Each structure stands twice: as C-alpha cells, then as structure tokens.
Amino acid sequence: MDLHHPPKPSSLHHKLSFVFPSLFFRAEVAYALSSVLVVLSASLLLLSALTPLQPLSFLGHAALPCDYSDGEWVWDVEAYPEGSYAEDCPFLDPGFRCLRNGRNDTGYRNWRWQPRGCHLPRFNASEMLERSRNKRIVFAGDSIGRNQWESLLCMLSAGVSNKSSIFEAHGNPISKHKGFLSIRFDEYNLSVEYYRTPFLVVIGRPPPNSSHLVHKSIRLDTPQWRAKMWAGADVLVMNTGHWWNRGKTIDQGYYFQVGEDINMTMGVNEAFQKTMETLKQWAISNMQLGHSYLFFRSYSPSHYRNGTWDTGGVCDSGTRPQTNNTLLEPDPWYNQIMSSAIKSMEGRGRKVQLLNITYLTEFRMDGHPSSHREPGTPTDAPQDCSHWCLPGVPDTWNELLYAHLLAKGYNSRSI
Ligand SMILES: *[C@@H]1O[C@H](CO)[C@@H](O)[C@H](O)[C@H]1NC(C)=O
Ligand SMILES: *[C@@H]1O[C@H](CO)[C@@H](O)[C@H](O)[C@H]1NC(C)=O
Ligand SMILES: *[C@@H]1O[C@H](CO)[C@@H](O)[C@H](O)[C@H]1NC(C)=O
Ligand SMILES: *[C@@H]1O[C@H](CO)[C@@H](O)[C@H](O)[C@H]1NC(C)=O
Ligand SMILES: *[C@@H]1O[C@H](CO)[C@@H](O)[C@H](O)[C@H]1NC(C)=O
Ligand SMILES: *[C@@H]1O[C@H](CO)[C@@H](O)[C@H](O)[C@H]1NC(C)=O
Ligand SMILES: *[C@@H]1O[C@H](CO)[C@@H](O)[C@H](O)[C@H]1NC(C)=O
Ligand SMILES: *[C@@H]1O[C@H](CO)[C@@H](O)[C@H](O)[C@H]1NC(C)=O
Ligand SMILES: *[C@@H]1O[C@H](CO)[C@@H](O)[C@H](O)[C@H]1NC(C)=O
C-alpha cells in the first residue's frame, strides 16, 4: 500500500505571490536589523558569560529567528560535507537508492537550500549526536515520514566511527513492512524511532450496526494505539497528508468515526481538521511540551505530470530543480490546518513548530525515484513521484529540523 499515491490536492497552477521589498526599504530594514543584532548579540554574549555551558555556536545559529521555509536552491558541489552519506548507508530502503536502481545523473544531490535573508546552519552530526544523548527522537507518520527518518539515520551515522554501535533495538531488519523500528546509537544512548501510521489516528473495525458500505473506520478522536510510545519522545516529528483524500478513504470504504458512530457524510477536510485537533489535545495532555519538541512536518508534494500516479503520471523529464516559482502548486490545504493547530498550541513555553518544507520541496521534481524504483519492480509499474531518492531532498528537511532545534535551544546546556 505504500505506493498508492493520491492525486495532487489541486491541479491548478497558481501564482505564489512574493512581494519583494524595494532595495531602499531593504537597506533600511537591514540597518534596523543590524542594530537589533548588535544589542541582541551583546545580551547573548552576556548571557553566555553568565551561563558558561551555553555553546558558542548558539550565537551564530540562533541570534535572529529565521523563516527557513522561503528561499532558493543553489548549486553546491559540496552540498552536504558534514552530514554526507552515500547509498551504501545500511538504513536505506532499496526503493530510495536511485543510482543503484539505474539513475545515471547525480546532480540532484548537489543542491543546497538557501533561505532568503538568513543562514541555514550546516548539519553537524557530532553536535546533533552530543545534544541528543540519552534521548529519543521519534517519527510518526506515513512512508514519506520513513523517508525522512532513514535520511536522519544516515546523516547521524556519518558522525559515528564504529558503525556496529548502531543497530535496530529488537534485531529487526529495516523494512517498509514493519510498523515500528527503533535504531539505537549505542554510544549516545540515543534511539531514533519510526512508527508507521498513515493517518496518525486509529484505523479499526467499524462499530456494529454500521452500513455495509463501511469497510474500516478511521477514528478521528483516538490517536493511533502506539501513541503512548510517542508520548515520552524528546523530539516528535509527526507527518501525514498523502492518505487524506477521498480516493484513499471513503472510496475504499474507509469512513470517519467520532465517538460511537460512523459519520457517513463527513468530508476529508473536516476529518483531517478533527484529527489535528485530537493530536493537539493528545500532545498537550501527554507530552511535556516545555521540555520536549513537537513538530508537524508539512505536506510533501508529489509531482505526477501528464497523468496521476495510477494513470501513467511521470516526473522524469528533468534533472534540475524548477527555477520558476510561478509554476509551483499553491500551499496545500493540509498545511493551513496543521499550522493553525501549531499556532493554537504556542505560548506557555511549549516547544512546537510547523516544519514547513512544502515550498522548498515543490521545486524538486528532479528528486523523486521516478522510474528508478526498487529492484524487482515491473518495468511497466507506475513511476514513484511521491517518495525521494536518498541522499536527497529529505536531508534538507532534516537540516531544517536541526536548525529549528538549535534555534529553540535543544539541549544547549548538556555540552
Ligand atoms: C510555508 O512556507 C511557504 C514559503 O515560505 C509559505 O508560502 C507558506 O505560506 C507556508 N505555509 C504555512 C502553512 O505556513
Ligand atoms: C541516462 O539515462 C537516460 C534514461 O534512463 C538515458 O536516456 C541516457 O542515455 C543515460 N545517459 C548516460 C550518460 O548513460
Ligand atoms: C561539529 O560539532 C563538533 C562538536 O560540537 C565540533 O567539535 C566541530 O568543530 C563541528 N564541526 C564543524 C565543521 O563545525
Ligand atoms: C538512556 O536513555 C533513556 C531515555 O531515552 C534513559 O531513561 C536512561 O536512563 C538512559 N540510560 C543511561 C545509562 O543514561
Ligand atoms: C563497536 O561497537 C560494538 C557494539 O556496541 C562493540 O561490541 C565493539 O566493541 C565496538 N568496537 C570498538 C572498536 O569500539
Ligand atoms: C442500528 O441502526 C439503525 C438504523 O441506522 C438504528 O435505527 C438502530 O437504532 C441501530 N441499533 C443500534 C443497536 O445501534
Ligand atoms: C456528520 O458530519 C457532518 C459534517 O460535520 C455533520 O453536519 C453531521 O451532523 C454529522 N452527522 C452525525 C450523525 O453526527
Ligand atoms: C508532459 O508532456 C509534454 C508533451 O508531450 C512534454 O513536453 C512534457 O515534458 C511532459 N512532462 C513530463 C513531466 O514528462
Ligand atoms: C515563469 O512562468 C510564467 C508562467 O508560465 C511565465 O509567464 C514567466 O515568464 C516565467 N518566468 C521566467 C523567469 O521564466
């Protein structure tokens, strides 16, 4: 079921409006910002003098809040000097090893995301590992979440010299068929876990007396049964989206349930909203959000062109990122709902963040496996324009994750 791809949320090509301030305005703002920066860095210096355990890198990384979501891709032959890894990283799904599967261009690995007007810190595996000592980093979501999890495993393992000290806690092989996997970085007492849960809430048998149309029930008011395992995570990255459409729910007999009864008329949009509300309430009551970090990762766009995933859609026409942002899809509706859920949780010292990777990912039609799917895939199988080659685009999502964690002071006192 992993490769059932939904249609795009909207096929409308849409002009994303970017208002570029005039140069004059920019200069003024730059001046104002630089004075703020001076004051800020002075106070931070003072702060770091008073709290000697604060690492100096905190200054460079987090002096000003930065909107990492907006920017451009720049060519960089050394795009990932620190977190670099290759396709032989043992944690990669065979379907993500695109070169091994016959892809013969490598340029897709040499683009670096450059946020507009600020600096995205390079991923430093040793530093991330140090900061993550005695912790649990948990990914919960669909197969695109697994894609990101595998990317982080490989980025982190680049910082460990003894590779045998990294292993699956229960001896399970890395497989997309497992619902739960936990990789231990033994030297750091760190586990990086993945829970497969395409809807994040429970999918179960329909209540007795339901209509014969109902094959399964999606229980919008009940987080997936393994959620109790997520609750104690130090960093929890949830994602969902690709399954929230009519074709993969109601049309398959998967109806929505709230309370005791199936609601036969509720639409996907409202169901998604209720799910986000459920997860929000769950996180507030079950996580220690003053201490742990909660991310909702925004929608990861797929790029089926000249057809949908099941009607011969393709994404293999180019080997470079899109450059013209007027050709991108609009921000999908899922993002607004996730963003409102996050916004309504903010404050009270809660460490919550929308990991907004949608826009940067929209440019990257070149980053999908397309026809270079896992060995054994029939040649006439649909192209994969949903998942991502690794190394590749999800590495950048993890760089953003890292940047947000640093900016929020992730364990800055333990090193
Ligand atoms: C995500 O980031 C893009 C680019 O900055 C922005 O256009 C969009 O509004 C953001 N979405 C949300 C829900 O914040
Ligand atoms: C790379 O692959 C494409 C299509 O798979 C093929 O058309 C092209 O000739 C190949 N290029 C090289 C240099 O092998
Ligand atoms: C990465 O982090 C480690 C530990 O904090 C530090 O010693 C090292 O200099 C950093 N590397 C780079 C390239 O910044
Ligand atoms: C290892 O980390 C866990 C939390 O993930 C913690 O409960 C445990 O005490 C740690 N073990 C050691 C030896 O520090
Ligand atoms: C590497 O890690 C394994 C598993 O933790 C351990 O048995 C082995 O002694 C380590 N090797 C070295 C050289 O530290
Ligand atoms: C079963 O469904 C019918 C029609 O929807 C309803 O009238 C009846 O009360 C239901 N019975 C139970 C036990 O819920
Ligand atoms: C089902 O959901 C729709 C949309 O929210 C709502 O209007 C309707 O009252 C619900 N039906 C039941 C039986 O709760
Ligand atoms: C879609 O088809 C058109 C016309 O045949 C072609 O120019 C374009 O490159 C195709 N797009 C993709 C992504 O293959
Ligand atoms: C970007 O695409 C739009 C719509 O097709 C077009 O009007 C515009 O000229 C393009 N801009 C550039 C710089 O190519």
Residue range 373-388, pLDDT digits in tens: 999 999 899 999 999 9
Q: What is the pLDDT of residue 53?
A: 35
Q: What is the pLDDT of residue 174?
A: 81
User: Quick check: 7 pLDDT over 60?
Assistant: no
Q: What is the pLDDT of residue 59?
A: 43
Kindly identify the ligand whose nearest atom is closest to the C-alpha of 232. 4
Q: Which of 56, 58, 126, 399 to mutate to test the pocket of ligand 3 (most atoms within 8 A of CB)?
A: 126
Q: What is the pLDDT of residue 48?
A: 39
Cα dist from 311 to 4, 305, 316, 383, whole Å: 12, 10, 15, 10
Q: What is the pLDDT of residues 73-88, one digit of tens each?
A: 999 877 555 558 999 9
Q: What is the pLDDT of residue 58?
A: 41
- Nearest Cα residue to 2 out of 146, 113, 137: 146
User: Please, what is the Cα angle at 200 between 91 and 390, to 5 degrees?
Assistant: 25
pLDDT band at 175 (very low <50, low <70, confident <90, very high): confident
Is residue 4 annotated as a catalytic residue, yes or no? no
134 lines ligand 5 (CB under 6 A): no
Q: What is the pLDDT of residue 83?
A: 54
- Of 78-92, 272-286, 339-353, 354-368, the range with the lowest mean pLDDT is 78-92
Q: Are 283 and 289 in contact (CB under 8 A)?
A: yes
Please state the atom number of ligand 4 nearest to the C-alpha of residue 234: 5
Domain spans of the chain? 70-407
E-assigned strand segments in 107-209: 111-115, 136-141, 166-168, 180-185, 190-196, 201-204
Cα of 105 vs centre of ligand 2, distance in Å, is 8
414 lines ligand 4 (CB under 6 A): no
Query: What value does the mean pLDDT take over residues 379-401?
Result: 96
Element (H, E) at 399: helix 393-407
Strands 166-168 and 180-185: antiparallel
Q: Cα–Cα distance between 300 and 393 in angstroms, integer?
A: 10
Q: What is the pLDDT of residues 11-65, one digit of tens each?
A: 333 332 222 333 333 444 444 444 444 444 444 444 433 333 333 344 444 455 7
51 lines ligand 5 (CB under 6 A): no
322 lines ligand 8 (CB under 6 A): no
> Using CA positions, which residue lies closest to atom 11 of ligand 5?
162
Q: Which residues pair with 190 in a beta bridge?
A: 185
Is residue 384 annotated as a catalytic residue, yes or no? yes
Is residue 170 annotated as a catalytic residue, yes or no? no
Q: What is the pLDDT of residue 413?
A: 54
Q: What is the pLDDT of residue 19?
A: 29
User: Quick check: 208 pLDDT over 50?
Assistant: yes
Q: What is the pLDDT of residue 399?
A: 96
What's the mean pLDDT when you consider all of the chain? 86
Q: What is the pLDDT of residue 277?
A: 98
Q: Which residues pair with 113 in a beta bridge?
A: 73
Percent of the chain past pLDDT 70, that is, above it, reads 82
E-assigned strand segments in 71-127: 71-75, 111-115
- Of 1-15, 98-112, 182-196, 308-322, the range with the lowest mean pLDDT is 1-15
E-assigned strand segments in 20-84: 71-75
What count of residues does the chain have?
415
User: Quick check: 98 pLDDT over 80?
Assistant: yes
Q: What is the pLDDT of residue 64?
A: 55
User: Quick check: 2 pLDDT over 50?
Assistant: no
Q: What is the pLDDT of residue 32?
A: 45
Cα of 168 vs centre of ligand 5, distance in Å, is 15
User: Quick check: 169 pLDDT over 60?
Assistant: yes
Q: Are 345 and 352 in contact (CB under 8 A)?
A: yes
Q: What is the pLDDT of residues 122-167, one digit of tens each?
A: 999 999 999 999 999 999 999 999 999 999 999 999 999 999 999 9
Question: Which one from 5, 303, 368, 387 is the annotated catalytic residue?
Answer: 387
Instruction: Give the global pTM.
Output: 0.86
The encoded tokens of residue 373 equal: 């799917």
258 lines ligand 7 (CB under 6 A): no
16 lines ligand 7 (CB under 6 A): no
Exposure of 347 by Cβ count < 10 A (0-12 exposed, 13-18 middle, 19+ buried)? Answer: exposed
Question: Which one from 93, 366, 384, 395 is the annotated catalytic residue?
Answer: 384
User: Quick check: 415 pLDDT over 50?
Assistant: no
